[in-house]
Amino acid sequence: MRKVVLNSTPIIILRNIGRMDLLKQLYENVYIPYGVYEEVNIIENCQIEDFIKIVKIKNEEAKQFFPTSLHKGEVEVMILAKEINADLCIIDDYLARQHSKSLGLVVSGTLGILVKAKEKGIIKRVKPVVDDMIRKGFYIDKKLYNEILNICGEK
């Protein structure tokens, strides 16, 4: 069974557009570290969906070995992913993604969730979902926007 660890941005943006169902339909085991749970609660002040497991990382000391430019949630995502031998980390921040890859983790972002959802036939088109995300404050540069639409055959 595939294990996926999420950072706060995918949760916040998918909740804002009413598409948390995508996570539930795509992944069997969805985890967030406690640091991400705290971030989502502070920013969004709402409950985490029942299919998401909240886990405290075991190795708190490991945090000191990460760059201070990374957020607590991002660091905990990487540590938890290593601890539970996750198949995938979903992180949007570029620096955190690069660091995750250097640790040997498989990384995707919120847009990757949409691409996979289209591949699996869960959504018919990616463009309206991405446009909705942008309207709700998700930043995506024009080049990446066009690249995603191209990958999905919607250009």
pLDDT value of position 1: 67
- Domain ranges, residue 28: 3-111
pLDDT value of position 31: 97
Q: Which of 113, 103, 98 is nearest to 11 (CA)?
A: 113
pLDDT value of position 128: 97
Beta bridge mates, 53: 31
Those residues of the chain that have pLDDT short of 50 are none
Instruction: Classify 130 in phi/psi space as left (phi over 0), alpha (psi -120 to 50) or beta.
Output: alpha
Residues in the chain: 155
Evaluate whether residue 133 is within a structural domain: no
Evaluate whether residue 27 is within a structural domain: yes
pLDDT value of position 70: 86
Evaluate whether residue 24 is within a structural domain: yes
Evaluate whether residue 119 is within a structural domain: no
Evaluate whether residue 118 is within a structural domain: no
